[in-house]
């Protein structure tokens, strides 16, 4: 038995060593690629200013590179423009260092090292993010603070490009940490409280919900759409959430109660209950959620887990009403809203006929 145990441990150690080595190699390759693209972008940017290079020149340059290096990928005219953008947007945070040992060769007599003038931690994270991720950030965000926020998220949570696009579209930068909640009163552990604030958003983008008229949908229809697209909903929630089920059954004194959606969050080490409301938040919703959380902690929570957290997900809310409603409850809760892409921004709502008018026109 001991030999088998030792062998199993050896396999685990070898697996860990192999995966760590592959990860470090991938990071080094990505760092070198970013350095190369930055260097190429610098060259094109300078030539554009000095010699008025345009699209035709870049197309010719791309073709000539292909002729010199048959099979070369990633250096089409479009990508060359992206490299220029990469350099133009980030060059103020990088510096030339000809004395460094880590050099990217530009020509026989010129070398360049890109070194972000950021904290050491941010520099490491920056170089872990792929060029495709960086390009999405550059075209869809404007401020340095927002870009750094998403760079940290991509590197720490291993987001795909699609995940990054979703979170930018959902405006995670503005929404994360703004959830109206009572965590200050109910979570005494400051580290857990900080993690809880980072784990929930003020508003969730449910752009996958396919209901003809979302305003007419009831909670059950919304729930069914979420369950049918549970992977996309998990993407909206963010990292570390695991889905445990919908209409999760609780039995209290022989009476049945059902939680709309139940999750487990690995970072928080707790159950997270979601209740769906199609309309505006009402104070009485918290009483029901407080009851659910008490039952979860009594009957479902494991001894090593933290107390459960509840989120009311509704169409609208008034933050002052939510603030007053939280008083005197001892369970951790928050109130968030949801929206779908079927909804028009306010400035466009009067630009088109309403649904009834459109139906009459079609008839």
Write the DSSP symbol of residue 176: B
Tell me the pLDDT band of 336, cut-offs 50, 70 and 90: very high
More reliable by pLDDT, 289 or 156: 289
Going by C-beta distance under 8 Å and a sequence separation of 6 or more, which residues neighbour residue 242? 263, 264, 265, 266
Percent of the chain at pLDDT > 70 equals 83
Q: Is 278 helix (H, G, I), strand (E, B) or coil?
A: strand
pLDDT per residue as tens digits for the range 101-135: 443 444 444 444 555 556 777 888 888 899 999 99
- Enumerate the β-bridge partners of residue 332: 309
* Beta-bridge partners for 176: 201
- pLDDT value for 299: 96
What does R_g of the chain's alpha carbons equal in angstroms?
26
Tokens of 186: 């109910």
Sign of the alpha-carbon torsion through 232, 233, 236, 237? negative
What's the pLDDT at 331? 96
Alpha helix ranges (H) inside 187-309: 190-199, 219-228, 230-237, 284-299
- CA–centroid distance for 109 within its chain: 43
User: What is residue 354's predicted lDDT score, i.e. its pLDDT?
Assistant: 59
The mean pLDDT of 186-194, rounded to a whole number, is: 94
Give the integer Cα–Cα distance in Å for 336 and 238.
14
CA–CA separation, 201 and 272 (whole Å) = 14
User: Hey, CA dihedral for 203, 209, 213, 214, is it positive or negative?
Assistant: negative
- Long-range Cβ contacts of 110-115 (<8 Å, 24+ apart): 112/35, 112/38, 112/39, 112/42, 113/35, 114/34, 114/35, 114/38, 114/39
Average pLDDT for 64-76: 89
Per-residue pLDDT reduced to its tens digit, 21-53? 877 787 788 888 888 898 889 889 988 888 888
Is the model more confident about 78 or about 357? 78
Q: Which pLDDT score, from 0 to 100, does residue 357 have?
A: 61
CA 18 → CA 14, 21, 24, 125, distances in Å?
Answer: 6, 5, 10, 22
Helix (H) or strand (E) holding 149: helix 144-157
Continuous segment of H or E residues that includes residue 50:
helix 2-51
- Are the CB atoms for 283 and 306 separated by under 8 Å? no
299: which 2 tokens?
A: 């009957």
Q: pLDDT confidence of 211, banded at 50, 70, 90?
A: low
What's the burial of 69, exposed, middle or buried (CB within 10 Å: 0-12/13-18/19+)?
Answer: exposed
What is the separation of C-alpha 112 from the centre of its chain, rounded to a whole number of angstroms? 33
- Does pLDDT of 170 surpass 50? yes
Confidence at residue 327, expressed as pLDDT on a 0 to 100 scale: 85
Average pLDDT, the chain: 85
The answer to whether residue 90 scores a pLDDT higher than 60 is yes
Mean pLDDT is lowest, of 184-188, 228-232, 297-301, 337-341, for: 337-341
Spatial strand order in the sheet of 203-205: 203-205, 332-339, 309-316, 270-280, 255-265, 241-252
For residue 351, pLDDT beyond 70: no
Q: Is the pLDDT of residue 348 over 50?
A: no
The share of the chain scoring above pLDDT 90, in percent, equals: 53
Residue at token pair 């990508």: 79
Cα distances from 201 to residues 35, 158, 172, 204, in angstroms, run: 35, 19, 7, 7
pLDDT confidence bin for 209, thresholds 50/70/90: confident
């Amino acid at each position: 038995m001991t030999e088998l145990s030792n062998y199993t441990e050896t396999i685990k150690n070898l697996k860990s060593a192999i995966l760590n080595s592959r990860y470090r190699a991938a990071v080094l390759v990505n760092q070198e690629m970013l350095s190369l693209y930055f260097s190429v972008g610098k060259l094109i940017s300078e030539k554009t200013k000095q010699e008025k290079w345009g699209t035709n020149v870049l197309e010719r340059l791309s073709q000539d590179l292909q002729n010199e290096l048959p099979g070369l990928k990633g250096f089409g005219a479009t990508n060359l423009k992206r490299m220029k953008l990469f350099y133009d947007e980030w060059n103020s945070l990088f510096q030339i260092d000809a004395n460094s040992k880590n050099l990217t060769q530009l020509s026989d007599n010129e070398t360049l090292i890109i070194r972000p003038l950021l904290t050491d931690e941010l520099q490491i994270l920056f170089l872990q993010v792929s060029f495709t991720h960086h390009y999405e950030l550059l075209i869809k965000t404007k401020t340095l603070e927002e870009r750094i926020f998403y760079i940290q998220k991509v590197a720490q949570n291993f987001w795909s490009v699609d995940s990054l696009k979703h979170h930018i579209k959902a405006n995670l930068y503005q929404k994360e940490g703004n959830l109206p909640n009572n965590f200050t009163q109910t979570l005494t552990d400051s580290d857990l409280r900080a993690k809880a604030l980072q784990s929930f958003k003020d508003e969730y983008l449910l752009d996958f919900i396919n209901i003809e008229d979302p305003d007419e949908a009831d909670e059950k229809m919304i729930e069914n759409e979420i369950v049918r697209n549970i992977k996309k909903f998990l993407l909206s929630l963010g990292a570390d959430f695991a889905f445990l089920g919908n209409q999760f059954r609780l039995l209290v004194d022989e009476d049945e109660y059902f939680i709309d959606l139940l999750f487990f969050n690995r970072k928080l080490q707790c159950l997270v209950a979601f209740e769906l409301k199609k309309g505006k938040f009402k104070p009485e919703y918290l009483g029901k959620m407080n009851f659910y959380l008490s039952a979860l902690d009594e009957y479902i929570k494991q001894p090593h887990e933290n107390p459960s957290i509840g989120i009311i997900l509704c169409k609208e809310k008034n933050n002052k009403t939510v603030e007053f409603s939280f008083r005197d409850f001892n369970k951790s809760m928050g109130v968030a809203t949801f929206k779908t892409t079927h909804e028009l921004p306010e400035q466009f709502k009067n630009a088109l006929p309403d649904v009834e008018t459109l139906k009459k026109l079609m008839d």
